[in-house]
Amino acid sequence: MDRRAALNENAVMKAILLAGTLGILAGPAAAQTLDVKTGLWETTRTVESRGIPPLEEGRMTPEQKARVEEMIKRREAEGPRTHASKECLTQEELERAPFAGFEGEAQTCVDSVFEHTASHWRGKSVCTLGARKREIEIDVSALSPEHVKGTVRSKLSGGGRVMTSQGTFTGRWLAADCGRRN
């Protein structure tokens, strides 16, 4: 996979893993942060992707392009993938602006927050870089200060290619101390 396509795919995974689960739960335009505890969280997410993301084919040999496309098709044929991980949520991350960290590579992003309360956050980010576009929609519910759940949908497009992903996630608080990995 070329570097920018990998960065786009990694950004989507980051949205599903951290931002979607924990890292974009507040913002300066919001009156309050989502009512969740800081500390060590365990997240489980299931993601399914379809299509091939935009690739910088001019930087790839035909063999590299064929390998990347084959790898993506194999991954797609496997169906939804479930991953679990542990992340540390700090107060700073909880108060970070929505979709912070997605900008870069001279891209332009427009972020929209549709709903933001102590128990629910829903928003969308649309970023463009040249002819490429990345759209991410996230919906997070705080079931309690120690449990969250939500959904993430994304679309990467450009150069006649489109990759869509959709996922669900749950998160549970484990400990105030991020060093504790029970």
pLDDT (mean) for 172-176: 95
- For the cut 70, the answer to whether the pLDDT of residue 162 exceeds it is yes
Contact assessment for residue 136 and residue 154, using Cβ atoms and an 8 Å cutoff = yes
pLDDT digits (tens, 9 = 90+) for 75-95: 888 889 999 999 998 888 887
**Which pLDDT does position 146 carry in this prediction?**
97
Both tokens assigned to 182: 């029970």
First to last CA, the chain: 35
How far apart CA 110 and CA 84 sit, in angstroms, is 30
Contact assessment for residue 49 and residue 165, using Cβ atoms and an 8 Å cutoff = yes
**Which pLDDT does position 129 carry in this prediction?**
82
Residue 79 backbone zone (phi > 0: left; psi -120 to 50: alpha; other: beta): left
- For the cut 80, the answer to whether the pLDDT of residue 143 exceeds it is yes
**How does residue 145 score in pLDDT terms, banded at 50, 70 and 90?**
very high
- For the cut 90, the answer to whether the pLDDT of residue 65 exceeds it is no
Summarize the chain as % helix, strand, coil (round to 5).
25, 45, 30
List CB contacts of 68: < 8 A, sequence separation 6 or more. 1, 2, 5, 52, 55, 60
How far apart CA 72 and CA 57 sit, in angstroms, is 15
CA atoms within 13 A on the CB side of 78: 13
pLDDT (mean) for 121-147: 91
Among residues of the chain, what percentage have pLDDT more than 70? Answer: 74
Contact assessment for residue 85 and residue 32, using Cβ atoms and an 8 Å cutoff = no
pLDDT digits (tens, 9 = 90+) for 5-34: 444 444 444 444 444 444 444 444 444 678
pLDDT digits (tens, 9 = 90+) for 110-119: 888 888 888 9
Alpha-helical segments (H) within 39-82: 62-77
pLDDT (mean) for 90-111: 70
- Single out the residue of 43, 67, 71 nearest to residue 163, CA to CA: 71
**Which pLDDT does position 164 carry in this prediction?**
93
Kindly provide the b/e burial profile for residues 153-180, where b requires at least 16 CB atoms within 10 angstroms of the residue's own CB: bbbbbbeebebbbbbbbbbebbbeebee
